[in-house]
């Protein structure tokens, strides 16, 4: 008569949606904190992530724009020099690295983070294929967007003269940017939303957020479309980040390289 074990008390994880034991401080399925910040508790995880990324971009621009303004006044110029351009790129990469650390705050340790947000598909050939296809897609997409922007006269005018090694610096910075943004928007936000709302809703929401945090209204439709594409690449590659990261990094790098090549 007393053989019934007491039902284990469980609560729904705010991240992955699984029922996890109440006694733990972290979800046993995805490793996310069961006691998130007050903001995520009230607004839910996607809004929490949005505020987080907004805050980081704000800090980045608060550092960057006054520096550029001071530089322009001191140098009595309205054009960015190579040094300033490269400094901007490096600062952007640095501030986006902070974004990954902010995601880390939501999880109990790096193992839990990498168990839930997966980088590579299993198997070496699948991993190589992911990175190769992602890279090719990024370059092609960048070429198409450069072409459309030229036709619509929306193109970013690059007046900066860069020496060939600068491209390496830009690529390294864009790799960090791709890594950070894919971690947040696809690995964290889209994955968490997909588990509760289904793929299409999650794709639309995370792409919209991705577009909005890029602040510049003129490029928002392009960024939104890019978000949709990256989100589909992420889903197609079994929710691993190697392909969208390679895509994003090369897309950004060639957004700098193509206009320079065209200006010759
Ligand atoms: Zn969970």
Q: Quick: pLDDT tens for 122-157.
A: 889 999 999 999 999 999 999 998 888 888 776 555
Enclosing H/E stretch for 19: strand 19-21
Distance 226 CA to ligand 1 centre (A): 28
- Asked whether the CA dihedral 190, 195, 197, 201 is positive or negative, the reply is positive
Please give the distance, rounded to the nearest whole angstrom, from the Cα atom of residue 169 to the centre of ligand 1: 37
Q: How far apart are CA 116 and CA 207, in angstroms?
A: 20
pLDDT for position 130:
94
Query: Which residues have their alpha-adjacent CB atom under 5 A from ion ligand 1?
Result: 13, 15-16, 27, 29-30
- Hey, what's the torsion of the CAs at 239, 245, 247, 248, to 10 degrees? 120
What's the mean pLDDT when you consider all of the chain? 81
Nearest to 17 by CA among 37, 7, 38, 32: 32
Phi, psi of 33 (to 5 degrees): -60, 135
Ligand 1 centroid, distance to 116 Cα (angstroms): 9
89, 138, 177, 178, 220 from 250: Cα distances, Å: 15, 5, 11, 9, 19
Q: Where are the chain's structural domains?
A: 44-262
Model confidence at 109, in pLDDT bands (50, 70, 90)?
confident
- CA-CA distance, 236 to 247, in Å (whole number)? 13
pLDDT of residue 186: 93
163 pLDDT exceeds 80? no
């Amino acid at each position: 008569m007393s053989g019934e074990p007491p039902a284990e008390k469980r609560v729904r994880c705010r991240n992955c949606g699984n029922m996890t034991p109440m006694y733990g401080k972290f979800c046993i399925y995805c490793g996310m904190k069961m006691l998130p910040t007050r903001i995520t508790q009230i607004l839910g995880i996607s809004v929490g992530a949005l505020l987080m990324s907004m805050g980081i971009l704000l800090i980045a621009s608060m550092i960057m724009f006054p520096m550029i303004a001071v530089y322009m006044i001191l140098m009595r110029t309205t054009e960015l020099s190579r040094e300033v351009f490269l400094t901007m790129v490096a600062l952007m990469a640095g501030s986006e690295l902070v974004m990954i650390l902010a995601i880390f705050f939501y999880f109990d340790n790096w193992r839990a983070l990498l168990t839930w947000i997966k980088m590579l598909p299993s198997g070496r050939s699948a991993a190589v294929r992911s990175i190769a296809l992602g890279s090719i897609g990024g370059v092609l997409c960048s070429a198409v967007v450069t072409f459309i922007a030229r036709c619509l006269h929306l193109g970013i005018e690059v007046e900066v003269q860069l020496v060939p090694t600068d491209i390496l610096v830009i690529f390294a910075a864009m790799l960090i940017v791709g890594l950070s943004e894919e971690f947040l928007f696809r690995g964290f936000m889209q994955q968490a939303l997909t588990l509760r709302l289904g793929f299409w809703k999650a794709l639309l929401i995370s792409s919209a957020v991705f577009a909005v945090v890029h602040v510049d209204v003129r490029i928002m439709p392009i960024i939104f479309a890019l978000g949709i594409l990256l989100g589909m690449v992420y889903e197609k590659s079994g929710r691993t980040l190697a392909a969208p990261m390679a895509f994003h990094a090369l897309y950004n790098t060639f957004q700098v390289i193509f206009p320079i090549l065209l200006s010759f």
